[in-house]
Amino acid sequence: MQPIIVAENLGKTYRSGKLEVPALRNVTFSVDPGEFVAIVGPSGSGKSTLFYVLGGLTSATHGSLTIQGKDFSRLNDAQRTSLRRSQIGFVFQRFNLLPTISAAANIELAHDIAATGKPFDKALMEHLSKLLKIEGRLQHRPNELSGGEQQRVAIARALITRPAILLADEPTGNLDTQNSDAVLEMLKNSSREMNQTVLMITHNPEAARIADRILHMRDGQITHIEQGSRRVV
């Protein structure tokens, strides 16, 4: 099986005047298709920078990143954007839903932006809404939904284009314990049902344990890799 993500010696350095601040230091790892990987570490460990590099939202200073067999460093901006839209879904801590339109419209808009050229998949929309337990809330605007419901809508929005990779950045950071547990379970279920590769950034070691593997980061480096509870030995 060929890895779906291969990072080799990834480095990212930010500049402030003459000062150079390394955020990533020679990060190397790979992820198999369908694998659920959690990336944990304290604030300033580099995990959020890694998230943005993996998603093609910023470029590494050095090293290589291969997604679906394509080297990001060899792609121009248009090619990188196309790959990101067609192959990668994003879930953010702050939901980022448009407040003036319904939950259903937020999900449909993600499909339109992806510009896949395929008609909107109403059957998938129905399946996702049932999987995420939001079928009765789709016509509500975000301010009419609870935090947990908004995050589930955000997950549906990320999944509607059937991306091969789902990147989740602190997806339970703004939720209470009950909603956090529900969202984590839904991420796990969507990974299994849709055979998606999931990378989840979190500061919470307990949340990370639902994953197959846990990558621990500190000072811009992966310090060690731990087995999660989903991995069957």
Distance between CA atoms of residues 73 and 205, nearest Å: 32
Write the pLDDT tens digit of every residue in 88-103.
999 988 888 999 999 9
4: number of Cβ within 10 Å: 20
Class of domain 5-227: alpha beta
What value does the mean pLDDT take over residues 167-183? 86
Give yes or no for residue 225 having a pLDDT over 90: yes
* Pairing verdict, β 62-67 and 70-71: antiparallel
Rounded Cα distance between 140 and 204, Å, is 31
Of the candidates 211, 206, 204, the residue with the CA atom closest to the CA atom of residue 231: 211
Pull the structure tokens for residue 192. Answer: 């299994």
CA nearest to 87, candidates 13, 141, 164: 164
Does 76 have pLDDT greater than 50?
A: yes
Phi-psi region of 41 (alpha: psi -120 to 50; beta: other; left: phi over 0): left
Structural domain spans, the chain: 5-227
Q: Is the pLDDT assigned to residue 50 strictly greater than 60?
A: yes
According to the model, what pLDDT value does residue 116 have? 67
Greatest mean pLDDT among 75-89, 153-167, 189-203 lies in 153-167
pLDDT tens digits, residue range 17-44? 889 899 999 999 999 999 999 999 998 9
